[in-house]
Amino acid sequence: MRDIRKLPLDKITVSPSILAADFGALNADIKRVTDAGADLLHLDVMDGHFVPNLTMGPPLIKAIRQQSDLIFDTHLMITDPLTYVPIFIGAGADHITFHVEADCDPQAVIDEIKKQGATAGISLKPGTPAEEVFPYLDRIELVLVMTVEPGFGGQSFMQDMMPKVKAIRDEIKRRGLKVHIEVDGGIASDTVETAAKAGANMMVAGTSVFRNPAGALKAISELHSASRYLS
């Protein structure tokens, strides 16, 4: 069973973002990062409205589902996640993260994700305070803190998001919950330590994995090695 709840909370897990992959050789690129030790696969879904970019839809997810056994960590950067949750889960998404800023009642989206048999996560844009996710922490499996403005890959890591990560981690610990904290944006060997020390245990990495000149194996290994900074 592909279940994000089975991944460790006390070790760094790596979710390569296929936004940085070669879409002309996508299955080969996915196999490459899988063989290199990726723990799950990050799928960035953008609608050109909620964020200023268009990426992939259900047909692509359905196609790569036939070729991969990794957990599909699906990040919906879309205005109306409630409508599309069943479609993406039907295409093969194992986990759905949506934005608290979307035009939907967050609890209704969580309920629909669970109804469809997937795990749920909530994401926060850089300008959204940590407290926005607190009411839902006991109902979700993951919080995704954006460490860049969502929309495009290859942006620089926003270190000023680390207090937000720490605030969410502290609240999770205070309440004794088992919730992953994922960070997305500018994650590489030179930023993973900072993210881990703040309390993030799941790293989305696109360019630094798929386009690393030293190869995906070294890139993922360097990210995994930051487990020692988790507390």
* Catalytic option among 29, 73, 94, 184: 184
* Catalytic option among 39, 44, 73, 94: 44
Question: CA dist 80 to 76, 83, 91, 128, 184, Å?
Answer: 9, 6, 17, 18, 21
Return d(Cα 145, Cα 208) in angstroms, integer.
18
Q: Give kind and range of the element (H or E) at residue 182.
A: strand 180-184
Return d(Cα 228, Cα 88) in angstroms, integer.
35
Return d(Cα 15, Cα 33) in angstroms, integer.
10
For this structure, is 184 an active site residue? yes
Cα 154 off chain centre by: 15
Query: So which residues are the catalytic ones?
Result: 44, 184
